[in-house]
């Protein structure tokens, strides 16, 4: 058995031990319908070999992982200075949907990976970039032409977005969101409602690991500078207010979503996609987090090495 295949099998067994400790997201009612015991992991290597264990073909809601895609598009469309003119790039230390610091201590969202930052990003794009454009781009960078919007998730999220609507209007009151608030919020929700698989996320991870180049054709899908910024933000801010501990334990740029997905990037080596809708208290896939910690150790993935002398 290939060492990657063996590692995935072992990681899946470890992840399943933790699933009962988590719960599916319920603040978006449609997400609560997921099978909390579903769990899968897919790896796509630089040589485009694909390895999978568990539920890797199940479609689920991309949720916050879409922030990686919209940030990349915004950086390419607007440029670095424009994107970060009204947004910081620092970990927030608060839940992803918090508005406390934005209201009380800072006039800018802390980073593009929290909801306030992602809604700001959508506001940059909304006047010029359509959802159809973003959908087509998502299919390309995820190496998955089957990605569609999940209309049930979209309607469920749109009907239960009071907090995100409050964030959006707070952003408008501070002069950060200058375009149409409702259209910007709708674009954000539509992107969160894309239906992906663990294999889709592994494909996106491989594109990022490959410096923005399509792994088979060599076509450039993202500018190299954009990839560098996106991966850095993922490392420091991608796992909500658990990002610091995750960086220490796993050491791989990653982005999670409350649909149960985790996207991980191993520089020049592989992309990893996780699906596990049972979440820990921070909103990260509990089985997925433990699978990645095991894979980091078993396959030597930590970007700063094993720590051995």
Whether 227 is catalytic: no
The span from the CA of 21 to the CA of 107, in Å, is 37
Catalytic residue, chosen from 229, 252, 258, 266, is 258
For residue 169, indicate whether it is catalytic: no
Find the catalytic residue in 18, 36, 67, 230: 67
The alpha carbon torsion through 122, 125, 128, 130 (nearest 10 deg) reads -50
Active site residue 67: yes
Per-residue DSSP letters for 10-49?
Answer: HHHHHHHTTGGG-B---SSGGGGGS-TT--EEEEEETT--
Q: Is 64 a catalytic residue?
A: yes
Which one from 18, 137, 188, 275 is the annotated catalytic residue?
Answer: 188
The catalytic residue among 154, 240, 275, 294 is 240
154 is catalytic: no
Query: In 10 A of CB 255, how many CB atoms?
Result: 33
Annotated active-site residue in 61, 64, 138, 256: 64
Starting at the edge strand that comes first in sequence, how are the strands of the sheet with 254-256 ordered?
A: 50-54, 40-45, 270-275, 261-266, 254-256
298 Cβ contact partners less than 8 Å away, ≥ 6 residues apart = 7, 10, 11
Q: Which residues are catalytic?
A: 64, 67, 188, 240, 258
């Amino acid at each position: 058995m290939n060492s990657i295949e063996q590692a995935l099998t072992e990681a899946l067994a470890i992840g399943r031990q933790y699933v009962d400790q988590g719960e599916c997201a319920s603040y978006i009612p449609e997400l609560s319908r997921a099978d909390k015991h579903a769990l899968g992991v897919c790896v796509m290597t630089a040589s485009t070999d694909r390895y999978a264990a568990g539920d890797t073909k199940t479609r689920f809601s991309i949720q916050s992982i879409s922030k990686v895609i919209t940030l990349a598009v915004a950086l390419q469309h607007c440029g670095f200075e424009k994107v970060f003119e009204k947004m910081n790039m620092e970990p927030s230390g608060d839940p992803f949907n918090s508005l406390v610091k934005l209201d009380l201590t800072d006039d800018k969202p802390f980073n593009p990976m929290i909801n306030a930052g992602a809604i700001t990003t959508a506001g940059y794009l909304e006047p010029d970039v359509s959802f159809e454009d973003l959908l087509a781009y998502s299919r390309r960078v995820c190496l998955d032409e089957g990605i569609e919007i999940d209309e049930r998730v979209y309607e469920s999220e749109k009907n239960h977005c009071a907090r995100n609507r409050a964030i959006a209007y707070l952003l408008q009151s501070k002069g950060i969101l200058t375009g149409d608030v409702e259209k910007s919020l709708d674009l954000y929700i539509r992107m969160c409602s894309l239906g992906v698989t663990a294999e889709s996320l592994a494909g996106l991870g491989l594109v990022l690991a490959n410096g923005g180049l399509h792994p088979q054709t060599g076509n450039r899908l993202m500018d190299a500078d954009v990839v560098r910024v996106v991966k850095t933000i993922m490392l420091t801010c991608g796992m909500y207010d658990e990002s610091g501990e995750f960086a220490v334990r796993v050491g791989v740029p990653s982005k999670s979503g409350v649909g149960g997905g985790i996207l991980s990037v191993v520089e020049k080596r592989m992309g990893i996609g996780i699906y596990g809708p049972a979440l820990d208290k921070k909103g990260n896939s509990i089985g997925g987090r433990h699978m990645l910690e095991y894979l980091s150790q078993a396959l030597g993935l930590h970007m700063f090495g094993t720590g051995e002398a």
